[in-house]
Amino acid sequence: MADMSVAHTAGASKLGRFIIYGLLALVCLYYLMPLFVMLSTSLKSLDEIRAGNLLSLPGEFRTDAWVKAWDSACTGVQCGGLKGFFWNSVSFVVPAVVISTMIGAFNGYALTMYRFRGSDLVFGMLMIGCFIPFQVVLLPMAQTLGALGIANSTLGLVFVHVVYGAAFTTLFFRNYYVTIPDELVKAAKIDGAGFLRIFFSIILPLSVPIIVVSVIWQFTQVWNDFLFGVVFSSGDRQPITVALNNLVNTSTGVKEYNVDMAAAIIAALPTLLVYIVAGKYFVRGLTAGAVKG
Amino acid sequence: MGALSIRNVRKSYHGNEILKGINLEIDKGEFLILVGPSGCGKSTLLSMIAGLDSVTSGEIRIGDRVVNDLSPKDRDIAMVFQSYALYPNMTVRENISFGLQIRKVPAAEQARIVERVANTLQIGHLLDRKPSQLSGGQRQRVAMGRAISREPSLFLFDEPLSNLDAKLRVEMRTEIKLLHQRMGTSIVYVTHDQIEAMTLGDKIAVMKAGEVQQFGTPQEIYDNPANLFVAGFMGSPSMNFIPAKVEAVGGGYGVKLESGQRTHVFPVPGGDGKLKAWEGREVLFGIRPEQITHKSESRLGLPQFQTAEMPIRLTEPTGPDTMVLVPINGKDVVCRVHPAHAGQPGESMELMFDLSKSVFFDPASEQRIA
Amino acid sequence: MNATVLSSTTAPAARPVRRCRWCDTLDAWLPKLVVAPTFVCSLVFVYGYILWTAVLSLTPSRLLPNYEFAGLVQYEALFDNERWWQALSNLAVFGGGFIVICLAVGLLLAVLLDQKIRAEGFIRSIYLYPMALSFIVTGTAWKWILNPEFGIEKLVHDWGFTSFTFDWLIDPEWSIYTVIVAAVWQSSGFVMALFLAGLRGIDDSIIKAAQVDGASMPTIYRRIIIPSLRPVFFSSFMILAHIAVKSFDLVMALTNGGPGFSSDLPATFMYSFAFTRNQIGLGAASAMMMLMIVVAVVVPFMYSEMRRSRHG
Ligand SMILES: Nc1ncnc2c1ncn2[C@@H]1O[C@H](COP(=O)(O)OP(=O)(O)OP(=O)(O)O)[C@@H](O)[C@H]1O
Ligand SMILES: [Mg+2]
């Protein structure tokens, strides 16, 4: 929508634009405020926190809260900081993301380029799976994981995230593949290529953008997940989100807000980093996953 | 032995019959055109020949093999698509050699073939580019290169020129024709452009709503259309169809035409046989614009030529000719007149009708009468 | 064109592709084989499990599943449970507030950002970053900010307004509104992104035509642009409703359902009964109710929207 302001008179438009920029800047401050507060609080000492207020700057930069959050803060009964939980998260997030993206790519390819009787039905069924509240599968899944002996294990969390993430990745890939002309696959069939050959030689090389979108989306989802983590794991196998919540709610001794904030930033850091590096793809994933329900 | 024979082929999607019993046959080296309006099933038929769509019933043979159950790769065909369908991630060279690679042609031979194809199509300088770096005409050439590299026994083209601009389209049309002459491979070529159909085809199948309306050489189809649809579809500007009453005239039969205040009855040469049954009834009198021209003295008196003076409603100069619109029996009829002889709107002019190639249709069934 | 004779060499295509019926059959089945595992998983782990949960909700299960049929006792217990009613009414308050505010803020920001703003990309990425955070992180941060002792209340006191009180977090009447505040902060940027994409998708020429017709900018927005964003409203509503019903992490981190159970939502209710209070049957019944809420909200909305798009 170009040239909206053309019709305006110069003066009114100048004032108008001033107001617009002012509003936008104000909203920026609102969105940035919590991050700023977290960061500055994490760098203060407890005394400074008590003496100052949310917006007061730390007098000197202290990293002890960070060290404690990482190394020795108490999350429930243990007091080993977040580090173990951070690596827990890494250990199930990486395989879950890789596997669910691969599954999504294959499914999307098969469902768009090789329509078969019932392929739309299958797709519709998968999509409904995106919509259910997960609470409705928690109890049976807990029973199943227990019976399979993979409750409270990395494998169990990978399994759960793959099972419930594959619907989303399939959706991404399908929506991307419908924009690729059918004729490409037809041409390859006539050239003599089969299902797998076409996928690996032609379709996959074209899929880089959507692979990035899917990886980022899945990474954010799985890393940030709390529900599956809190239900299907316990003790020192828990993911970082659960550990963070435990850390914040552990009520032994003095409440150390600076450590809480440092811990929150540590838990947020990987996804924030992804957002900063590849925000464009992140947004694309959000809108792609959302607009087509 | 025919290069391709299609016998009673039908196709339905979910109970909808898209192709209703197609029969076509071409010899080795022939150039078959499938032409018809959008949605008539041309692409579907081509896809079935290629093996990309299954055949609901009937039989398709390529050479001496029934190919109904063969997969595309085993049919010894190559296809050029409307969108070219070049593999975007591969260079031109890789695009051309992909099919060879899958067929495990040794690398050295692949290189030789690519080079030869590139020479033939003059795309040697493009071999290391990606399709996105090519112009429309170049993509078109690469798509053809990919098809000819495998030297199949049958080429399939699905509207290969429709994405090109008018000038390029004419050039490529000529090239395809030259290529066909040189290689002598049979071709099935889908188009909805009737000029392409006329210029390229050895045989034309005019299709409508899943049926072949007429199958024959371009000239047969042009001169002797089987029905109203074919007559109207082929030729540009289209044939005039004038509702007219059949009357007995001078021992034979003729058609009664009213224009301005005047009424003319034109005797139809050889019309006595078939038109007899229609005496007193209305038929559709079909005459192409180029068969109505200005009066030429040299032809006066020949029995198939009739002249009449008619009022001009509109003129449309096209350059070589001027289209003159005159009202006949309440219809605007297009006449193709030399520009020097064309009158002005509001005037009237003497026109000469060549009735030797005129055709007549039953207005109800739209089938040819005579 | 140069007259190389193509057909003089051995025709490579005469060399057929390795013919094997078996490979062709396999190839024809591959697409289905590839999709099959996901299909089965979805059948079992989504549809099967919903059924299983439904069964559990009809049993007297407590700590362990017990498959005696007990009829609707769990549902009766659920609807006799004051905490459940609190969770439901909280869901209505939270869902309504959250959705309406997010839509309004998102639309406003999108319209503002659509005025050829210079640093648009940068501003947009600031509005959107909360979406990359975990609700647990968001909850932790806002818990600190809203903390009456050291948070906003203190900040305003330090500015000199000493009579100012802001203690929603510990006020049972208001605690659910803190969840709205934090949730809006996290999700409104996302709605803005959806609306912005919608605005960018509108055909320029329609707006030009309206300008030529003499319509003012506010009229154009009100009469042309915003109505044409209907599909975006639709998808935003669906997503936000979905987030609202599923909201769990945020409440856990921000208020843990408290004070008391004043900020409980169905999701936290379900978790607490199914997994900490060992009332599997009741938990299952509440999970089924959550599913029904989603269905009740989403299905009519989708249906009306589909009818519209079919007629429109
Ligand atoms: N997969 C399909 N399922 C159902 N109907 C189909 C399918 N493919 C084609 N059709 C229908 O078959 C008819 C013929 O389609 P086809 O693509 O062969 O037409 P066409 O003659 O090539 O037209 P065009 O000139 O527009 O390319 C159309 O009415 C189309 O709607
Ligand atoms: Mg077609």
Q: Where are the domains of chain C?
A: 17-56, 73-310
Q: Is the CB of B41 under 6 A from ligand 1?
A: yes
> Which residues lie closer than 8 Å to C241 by C-beta, 6 or more apart?
C95, C99, C294, C297, C298, C301
Q: What is the pLDDT of residue A283?
A: 73
Q: Is the CB of B52 under 6 A from ligand 1?
A: no
Q: Residue B72: is the preceding peptide bond cis (ω within 30°)?
A: no
Instruction: Tell me the sheet residues that pair with A208.
Output: none
Contact A291/C194, CB-based, under 8 Å? yes
Picking from A24, A224, A267, the nearest residue to C112 by CB comes out as: A24
Kindly report the backbone phi and psi dihedral angles of residue C108, in degrees, each rounded to the nearest multiple of 5, phi listed first.
Answer: -60, -50
pLDDT in tens, C280-290: 889 999 999 99
- Which 3 state secondary structure label does DSSP give B211? strand
Average pLDDT of the residues in A54-74:
79
Q: What is the pLDDT of residue C5?
A: 39
pLDDT in tens, A128-153: 877 888 999 999 999 899 898 888 88
Measured between CA atoms, the residue of chain B closest to residue C13 is B150
Q: Looking at the predicted structure, is the pLDDT value of residue A225 above 80?
A: yes
Q: Looking at the predicted structure, is the pLDDT value of residue A9 above 70?
A: no
Angstrom distance (rounded) from CA A134 to CA A138: 6
Q: Say if CB A163 and CB A225 are below 8 A apart.
A: no
Q: What is the pLDDT of residue B287?
A: 94
Q: Is the CB of B210 under 6 A from ligand 1?
A: no
Angstrom distance (rounded) from CA A206 to CA A109: 12
What is the distance in A from the centroid of ligand 2 to the CA of B231?
22
Nearest CA to CA, how far is B351 from chain C (Å)? Answer: 46
- Which 3 state secondary structure label does DSSP give C232? helix
Contact B98/A190, CB-based, under 8 Å? no
- Confidence tier at A7 by pLDDT (50, 70, 90): very low
Of A115-124, C64-73, C108-117, the poorest mean pLDDT is in C64-73
Q: Is the CB of B184 under 6 A from ligand 1?
A: no
Q: Say if CB C297 and CB C92 are below 8 A apart.
A: no
CATH fold, domain B240-361, is OB fold (Dihydrolipoamide Acetyltransferase, E2P) (2.40.50)
Rounded mean pLDDT of chain A? Answer: 85
pLDDT in tens, C196-217: 888 888 888 888 888 888 778 8
A273 burial type by CB count under 10 A (0-12 exposed, 13-18 middle, 19+ buried) = exposed
Q: What is the pLDDT of residue C172?
A: 78
Angstrom distance (rounded) from CA A88 to CA A244: 13
Picking from B52, B88, B102, the nearest residue to A191 by CB comes out as: B102
Q: Residue C37: is the preceding peptide bond cis (ω within 30°)?
A: no
Q: What is the pLDDT of residue B4?
A: 93
Q: Which parts of chain B sit beneath pLDDT 70? A: 1, 271-272
> Which residues lie closer than 8 Å to B10 by C-beta, 6 or more apart?
B17, B19, B20, B21, B22, B55, B56, B57, B58
- Confidence tier at C291 by pLDDT (50, 70, 90): very high
Q: What is the pLDDT of residue A11?
A: 58
- Confidence tier at C4 by pLDDT (50, 70, 90): very low
pLDDT in tens, B92-122: 999 999 999 998 899 999 999 999 999 988 8
The ligand 1 atom at the shortest distance from the C-alpha of residue B44 is: 18
- Domain C73-310 listed as CATH 1.20.20.10: no
CB atoms within 10 A of CB A125: 17
Nearest alpha carbon to residue C131 among C194, C213, C62, C190: C190
What is the distance in A from the centroid of ligand 1 to the CA of B43?
7
- Best of B9, B10, B12, B13 to mutate for ligand 1, by most ligand atoms within 8 A of CB? B13
Q: Which residue has the higher pLDDT, A134 or C259?
A: A134
Contact A184/B85, CB-based, under 8 Å? yes
> Which residues lie closer than 8 Å to A160 by C-beta, 6 or more apart?
A141, A145, A228, A232
Angstrom distance (rounded) from CA B261 to CA A232: 96
Measured between CA atoms, the residue of chain C closest to residue A27 is C127
Measured between CA atoms, the residue of chain A closest to residue B86 is A184
The ligand 1 atom at the shortest distance from the C-alpha of residue B40 is: 21
Which DSSP string do the residues of B262-303 spell out, in sequence order? EEEEEEPTT-HHHHGGGBTSEEEEEE-GGGEEE--GGGTT-T
Which DSSP string do the residues of A76-107 spell out, in sequence order? TTB-S-SHHHHHHHHHHHHHHHHHHHHHHHHH
Of the listed ligands, the closest to the CA of B40 is 1
- Confidence tier at C173 by pLDDT (50, 70, 90): confident
Hey, is the C-beta of B99 within 8 angstroms of any chain A C-beta? yes
- Going by the DSSP 8-state scheme, the letter that residue C42 receives in this structure is I
- Helix, strand, coil fractions of chain B, as percent rounded to 5: 30, 35, 35
Q: What is the pLDDT of residue C7?
A: 42
Residues of chain C contacting A274 with CB distance shorter than 8 Å: 132
Q: Is the CB of B37 under 6 A from ligand 1?
A: no
Q: Is the CB of B192 under 6 A from ligand 1?
A: yes
Of the listed ligands, the closest to the CA of B36 is 1
A207 is written with which tokens?
Answer: 């899929």
Rounded mean pLDDT of chain C? Answer: 83
Strand ranges for B148-268 from DSSP E: 154-158, 186-191, 203-208, 211-216, 240-249, 252-259, 262-267
- Domain B2-233 listed as CATH 3.30.565.60: no
Domain residue spans in chain B? Answer: 2-233, 240-361
Contact C53/A8, CB-based, under 8 Å? no
Residues 47-86 of B with CB under 8 A from A: 47, 50-52, 71-73, 77-79, 81-83, 85-86
- Best of B42, B45, B193 to mutate for ligand 1, by most ligand atoms within 8 A of CB? B42
Which DSSP string do the residues of A241-276 spell out, in sequence order? HHHHHHHHH--SSS--HHHHHHHHHHHHHHHHHHHH
CB atoms within 10 A of CB B357: 15
Q: What is the pLDDT of residue B1?
A: 59
Q: Say if CB B31 and CB B180 are below 8 A apart.
A: yes
Neighbours of ion ligand 2 (CB under 5 A): B 43
Angstrom distance (rounded) from CA B114 to CA B148: 10
Q: What is the pLDDT of residue A288?
A: 62
Q: What is the pLDDT of residue A42?
A: 85
Q: How many CA atoms lie within 13 A of A163 on its CB side?
A: 21
Q: Is the CB of B43 under 6 A from ligand 1?
A: yes
Q: Is the CB of B288 under 6 A from ligand 1?
A: no
pTM, entire model: 0.85
A164 is written with which tokens?
Answer: 């419930």
Average pLDDT of the residues in A259-267:
90
- Domain A83-290 listed as CATH 3.10.180.10: no
Residues of chain A contacting C142 with CB distance shorter than 8 Å: 34
Q: Which residue has the higher pLDDT, C307 or B84?
A: B84
Strands laid side by side in the B16-27 sheet: B16-27, B2-13, B57-62, B65-66
Picking from A186, A193, A206, the nearest residue to B102 by CB comes out as: A193
Average pLDDT of the residues in A79-101:
90
In this complex, how many residue pairs, one in chain B and one in chain C, have their CB atoms less than 8 Å apart? 61
Of the listed ligands, the closest to the CA of B17 is 1
Q: Looking at the predicted structure, is the pLDDT value of residue A10 above 60?
A: no
Q: What is the pLDDT of residue A235?
A: 83
Angstrom distance (rounded) from CA B312 to CA B326: 5
Angstrom distance (rounded) from CA B129 to CA B141: 13
